[in-house]
Amino acid sequence: MLEENRSFDNEFVFKSSRSGGKGGQNVNKVETKIELTYDVINSDVLNEEEKKRVLVKLQNRIDKNGILRMTSQTERSQFMNKEKVIKKFYSLIGKALEEEKIRTKTKPSKVSKEKRIQSKKKISEKKVLRKIHSQDFSE
């Protein structure tokens, strides 16, 4: 789980470039697209266990050098895109660091077994009635 007091901000590397989409001349002139890169393997904020968990859970987003890349280009200002990509990063890392609950196997109760059998019998009766009804029409 991601604690509130941890800050990854000093380990971020930002790069700006021109983005496509809406904005008219603004798109052609201003570099509003922001790419955030974060080196998971050399991070001082994460411990070894957390690094392993992040590398496994986010393997599709991390390259072979252990660098996580995220971009944002939806907003018309560089500042807004930067804020958006940072928020996206924290949410992604938070989900990756969450521990999954171990499922405990349970057996179905007597009541649930009985309900299942009753519903199967009901469906079976319907089908038998359909057969009988369709035979009446064919004769």
**In contact, 85 and 71? CB cutoff 8 Å:** yes
What is the reported pLDDT for 12? Answer: 87
What is the reported pLDDT for 32? Answer: 83
- Is a pLDDT exceeding 70 seen at residue 21? no
Class (C level, CATH) for 9-97:
alpha beta
Distance separating alpha carbons of residues 96 and 27, to the nearest angstrom? 34
Side-chain-facing half-sphere of 6: CA atoms under 13 Å: 14
- pLDDT band with cut points at 50, 70 and 90 for residue 84: very high
- In the structure encoding, which two tokens stand for residue 84, read together? 């958006």
pTM of the model: 0.66
| Average pLDDT over all residues of the chain | 85
